[in-house]
């Protein structure tokens, strides 16, 4: 009986990791190698489970169904939503919501990065993004779910509990606060079926995963912070506008023994 339950838990952790990975890669700027990975093994692993409610199962299917579109079409669709500057309707950064002062935004990014560092991860590699980018946060959740699966398979109760506790706290303090409404915003502004479907899945999946884990976010960040103006720079002595870096590429996490990018 114990082996059966452990296998079910392991399969659930793998499925959760695949869904977070599916979201991270479909919200990122489309690249041929990432699409190949999505089509070949991530999407099949993220497919509906028997225990899924119909809304969630339909949302997963909705994303998988439109992954076969041509690469150029998917890139145009991504650019329509995220543009070349940070979009005002749906900024892809956690610090784009809530207080708009530069000190609070820096505090958010530092706290998010602390979660990564605690598990031997650094944001870096050839593709760079801020630690609070939606793809970065989704990649972290995928990593933690895979780490949980490994702990279930090879380690023990303490390691499993730590992985689950980290996921609960990260959803409660960060991704769960802004991710669902960000997804709904993406779905509302998207003109192409893929980003619209991904936005719906992001909102549906995060709500479902938090319910399953018993997570109640510490806040619900439903509106982007107002854009900073030149007056903001004059008043605080520093530019308070959020970063205009919007190349939403998947983050490659570096191991603890690799040198951090400066």
Domain locations in the chain as residue ranges: 2-254
- The pLDDT assigned to 243 comes to 34
CA–CA gap between residue 171 and residue 179 (Å, rounded): 9
Residue 177's pLDDT is 96
How do residues 176-221 score in pLDDT, each as one tens digit? 999 999 999 999 999 999 999 999 999 999 999 999 999 999 999 8
C-alpha to C-alpha distances, 97 to 132, 139, 162, nearest whole angstrom: 11, 20, 29
Percent of the chain with pLDDT over 90: 55
Q: What is the pLDDT of residue 120?
A: 86
Q: What's the predicted TM-score (pTM) here?
A: 0.82
The confidence band for 242, taking pLDDT boundaries of 50, 70 and 90, is: very low
| 97, 223 contact by CB (below 8 A) | yes
**Helices 134-154 and 176-189 sit at what angle, rounded to 10 degrees?**
130
Task: Tell me what pLDDT residue 113 has.
Answer: 92
Per-residue pLDDT at 257: 40
- By C-alpha distance, which of 82, 84, 90, 78 is closest to 192? 78
DSSP, collapsed to helix, strand or coil, labels residue 28 as: coil
Does pLDDT of 244 surpass 80?
A: no
Query: Is the pLDDT assigned to residue 256 strictly greater than 60?
Result: no
Per-residue pLDDT at 227: 60
Do 30 and 39 form a contact (C-beta atoms < 8 A)?
no
Render pLDDT for 14-48 as a digit per residue (tens, 0 to 9).
Answer: 999 999 999 999 999 999 988 999 999 999 999 87
Contact 150, 37 (CB under 8 A): no
pLDDT of residue 125: 63
pLDDT at residue number 76? 94
Helices 102-118, 134-154: crossing angle, 10 deg rounding: 20
| 102 has a pLDDT exceeding 90 | no
Instruction: Give the pLDDT band (50/70/90) at residue 230.
Output: very low
- Kindly tell me if the per-residue pLDDT of 145 is higher than 90: yes
Is residue 104 helix, strand or coil? helix
pLDDT of residue 90: 84
The two tokens of residue 28 are 């990122």
Architecture of domain 2-254: Orthogonal Bundle (1.10)
Mean pLDDT of the chain: 82
Is the per-residue pLDDT at 114 higher than 90?
yes
């Amino acid at each position: 009986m114990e082996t059966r339950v452990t296998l079910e838990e392991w399969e659930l952790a793998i499925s959760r990791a695949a869904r977070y990975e599916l979201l991270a890669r479909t919200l990122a700027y489309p690249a041929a190698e990432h699409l190949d990975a999505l089509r070949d093994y991530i999407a099949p692993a993220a497919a509906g489970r028997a225990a899924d409610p119909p809304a969630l199962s339909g949302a997963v299917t909705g994303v998988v169904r439109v992954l076969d579109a041509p690469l150029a079409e998917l890139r145009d669709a991504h650019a329509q939503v995220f543009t070349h500057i940070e979009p005002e309707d749906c900024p892809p950064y956690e610090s784009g919501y809530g207080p708009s002062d530069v000190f609070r935004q820096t505090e958010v990014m530092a706290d998010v990065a602390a979660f990564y560092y605690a598990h031997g991860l650094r944001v870096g590699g050839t593709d760079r993004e801020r630690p609070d980018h939606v793809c970065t946060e989704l990649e972290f959740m995928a990593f933690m779910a895979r780490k949980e699966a490994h702990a279930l398979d090879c380690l023990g109760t303490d390691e499993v509990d730590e992985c689950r506790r980290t996921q609960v706290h990260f959803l409660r303090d960060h991704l769960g606060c802004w991710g669902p409404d960000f997804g709904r915003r993406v779905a509302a502004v998207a003109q192409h079926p893929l980003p619209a479907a991904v936005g719906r899945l992001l909102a549906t999946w995060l709500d479902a995963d938090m319910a399953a884990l018993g997570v109640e976010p510490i806040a619900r960040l439903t509106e982007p912070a107002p854009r900073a103006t030149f007056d903001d720079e004059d008043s605080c002595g520093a530019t308070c506008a959020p970063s205009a870096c919007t190349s939403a590429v998947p983050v490659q996490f570096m191991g603890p023994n690799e040198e951090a990018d400066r």
